[in-house]
């Protein structure tokens, strides 16, 4: 099993693998605290894709990948995932509370 170095390549190939065989594809996360390494693996028993990192900032990327897989599993493999990946999250303006009387 060879590790994929590029995160974008890993995500793209993982989604393609899931769409090709959604009933057999598995997604596994493994974190080793002693090494501080996170390993992500997507497999359908014929092809295996792995990504390894030790960067804390990659946890956000992993969360986005989880959301992509949750969307594909819930809505079906033919779902357009640009709404999960492409949309920037809009920041809601802060609500103004009651002002204090002076």
17-59 residue pLDDT tens: 999 999 999 999 999 898 889 999 999 999 999 999 998 888 8
Q: Whose CA is closest to 41, among 31, 53, 51, 56?
A: 51
C-alpha–C-alpha distance, residues 62 and 74, integer Å? 18
C-alpha–C-alpha distance, residues 7 and 42, integer Å? 13
C-alpha–C-alpha distance, residues 19 and 78, integer Å? 7
Assigned token pair, 54: 């030790």
> Per-residue confidence at 88, pLDDT binned at 50, 70, 90?
very low
**Domain at 7-85: CATH architecture:** 2-Layer Sandwich (3.30)
pTM listed for this prediction: 0.74
Q: What would the mean pLDDT of 2-13 be, rounded to a whole number?
A: 91
Q: What would the mean pLDDT of 60-85 be, rounded to a whole number?
A: 82
Q: Whose CA is closest to 4, among 43, 60, 57?
A: 43
Q: Domain locations in the chain?
A: 7-85
């Amino acid at each position: 099993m060879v590790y994929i170095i590029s995160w974008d390549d890993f995500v793209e190939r993982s989604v393609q693998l899931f769409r090709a065989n959604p009933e057999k594809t598995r997604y596994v996360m493994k974190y080793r605290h002693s090494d501080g390494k996170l390993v992500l693996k997507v497999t359908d028993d014929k092809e295996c894709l792995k990504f390894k990192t030790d960067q804390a900032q990659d946890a956000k990327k992993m969360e986005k990948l989880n959301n992509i897989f949750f969307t594909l599993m819930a809505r079906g493999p033919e779902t357009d995932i640009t709404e999960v990946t492409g949309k920037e999250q809009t920041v809601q303006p802060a609500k103004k509370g009651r002002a204090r009387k002076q």
